[in-house]
Amino acid sequence: MSQLAINGGTPVRTAPWPQWPRAETAEHAKELVAEALTSGKWGGDGPMEQEFARRFAEFQRAKHGVCVSSGTTALVAALEAAGIEAGDEVIVPGLTWIATASAVLEVNAVPVFADISRDTFCLDAASAEALVTSRTKVIIPVHLSGATTDMDAIMDLARRHNLLVIEDAAHAHGTLWRCPDGEVRGAGAIGNAGCFSFQASKSLTSGEGGIVIANDEAFADRIWAFKNVGRARKEGGEYVLGHNFRISELQAAVLLAGLECLDGELETRDANGMYLNDRLGALPGIRPARRDPRVVRQAYYGYIFAFEPEVWDGVTRNRFVKGLQAEGIRAAGGWGAPVYGMPYWKVRKERYPFAARYDKTSPDFNPPNCPYSDRFAYEEEVTLPHAMLLGSSDDAEDIARAIEKLWQHRAELAQQPAVSA
């Protein structure tokens, strides 16, 4: 009789995982949404939006926050405010969500793909530095899933080459980093700006939405202008050709409710994340993202690790993921490709002439040289959604037991034909 659930055996886990968004947060959000509905101020920089922007900036240890309509528009507004012009180059990691790179295209600049670190799965500073040219203006490190970019290395690189740093912190609500001077700063508050998403699956959500945080007031005012149709934030301020990237007061109400719960949720996720680091790090062919000792608190959009197929005797990453799913573990293989390999990465030279090097329809198309981004995305990446870390240590142990079970029966797991792996 088969031992593996994928072949008819008994799964390790049948109990449900914690719900996301959490019912407790939803109940409190109802009260604040009702207050917003009766306030007569449903949008346009209302009091709840202003309160949330201030409180979230403080939460991340930044001085200013500007709410926007999404994590993508946060990046666009920050790049606009940074003065990025047509043909400027912006370094981004090869492995990230497409918005990190597409936001660069939206301001008519050129995303330049650097490789990721084998340890953290985040932007590798040495790879990024090798790509700096006279046209490079910005570097966008991404704090990926349950990992943190080496921000000391990124900031040192930026200082030496006179670059701006815009952190893509869409996965890092609550991450804290100890800087060289000993000061602890939140993700997004280390560089010149930090961009967050509040999309439905994020660890702080209003269904959709985003925010840009910054420490420079003038820079924050420019971001506000670009998100608010170009209006100057203060009397006598600068008008720009902007966008409507605003959020509603109802979204701000939901975010305020979520922010009140975030500290406790971060504590639970971080404890379970560290538990999994210890348990999974001891298993053959499983390599969790390295937790840098400068990380004071790690936020999780998901739990991310590398599956090393060469150790698993013929088991592919996709087969491993399906085996985990059958055992009751909500695993996924990430996005399945680096940005430039995603099916919706369509860069036509007619629309994006400065980024024509990425036009796949062109006969001289040459993919970026990011060997580990390719290997990790196509063969190794496994992620677990952050809601799984909101349970108990027993819940986290179920994840480890399921992987141990697959390892013990890897010969059976490998028998599935590769066509369905």
Give the integer Cα–Cα distance in Å for 304 and 376: 11
Tell me the residue ranges of DSSP E strands in 217-363.
286-288, 295-297, 302-307
Say yes or no: 227 and 314 in one domain.
no
Give the integer Cα–Cα distance in Å for 288 and 324: 16
pLDDT (mean) for 68-93: 98
Q: How confident is the model at residue 417 (pLDDT cuts 50, 70, 90)?
A: low
Say yes or no: 37 and 110 in one domain.
yes
User: How do residues 4-16 score in pLDDT, each as one tens digit?
Assistant: 999 999 999 999 9
Nearest alpha carbon to residue 346 among 357, 356, 359: 359
Q: Where are the alpha helices (DSSP H) in 231-294?
A: 249-281
**Does residue 226 form part of some domain?**
yes
Dig out the tokens for 293 from the structure.
Answer: 């000792």
Give the integer Cα–Cα distance in Å for 381 and 407: 17
pLDDT (mean) for 231-252: 95
Say yes or no: 270 and 404 in one domain.
yes
The pLDDT, as a whole number, for residue 328 is 98
pLDDT exceeds cutoff 60 at 129 = yes
Last residue of a domain, one of 230, 258, 286: 258
Say yes or no: 133 and 178 in one domain.
yes
Total domains in the chain come to: 2
Q: Residue 411 is part of which domain span?
A: 261-420
Q: How confident is the model at residue 65 (pLDDT cuts 50, 70, 90)?
A: very high
The pLDDT, as a whole number, for residue 81 is 97
Dig out the tokens for 154 from the structure.
Answer: 């990124």
User: How do residues 181-210 score in pLDDT, each as one tens digit?
Assistant: 999 999 999 999 999 999 999 999 999 999
Last residue of a domain, one of 223, 258, 293: 258
Cβ–Cβ under 8 Å, residues 94 and 378 = no
Nearest alpha carbon to residue 382 among 326, 328, 316, 299: 316
CATH number, position 406:
3.90.1150.10
Dig out the tokens for 210 from the structure.
Answer: 């985003």
Classify residue 166 as exposed, middle or buried by CB count within 10 Å of its CB (0-12, 13-18, 19+).
Answer: buried
Work out the mean pLDDT of the chain and round it to a whole number.
Answer: 96
Which is the catalytic residue, given 137, 202, 227, 322?
Answer: 202
pLDDT (mean) for 56-78: 98
User: How do residues 321-379 score in pLDDT, each as one tens digit?
Assistant: 999 999 999 999 999 999 999 999 999 999 999 999 999 888 888 899 999 999 999 99
Examine the residue annotation and report whether 202 is marked as an active-site residue of this protein: yes
Dig out the tokens for 384 from the structure.
Answer: 């677990």
Q: What are phi and psi of 21, to 5 degrees?
A: -65, 155
Last residue of a domain, one of 213, 235, 258: 258
- Record the pTM: 0.96
Say yes or no: 376 and 300 in one domain.
yes
Say yes or no: 177 and 45 in one domain.
yes
Dig out the tokens for 212 from the structure.
Answer: 């840009």
The pLDDT, as a whole number, for residue 416 is 64
Say yes or no: 373 and 242 in one domain.
no
Q: How confident is the model at residue 418 (pLDDT cuts 50, 70, 90)?
A: very low
CATH number, position 220:
3.40.640.10
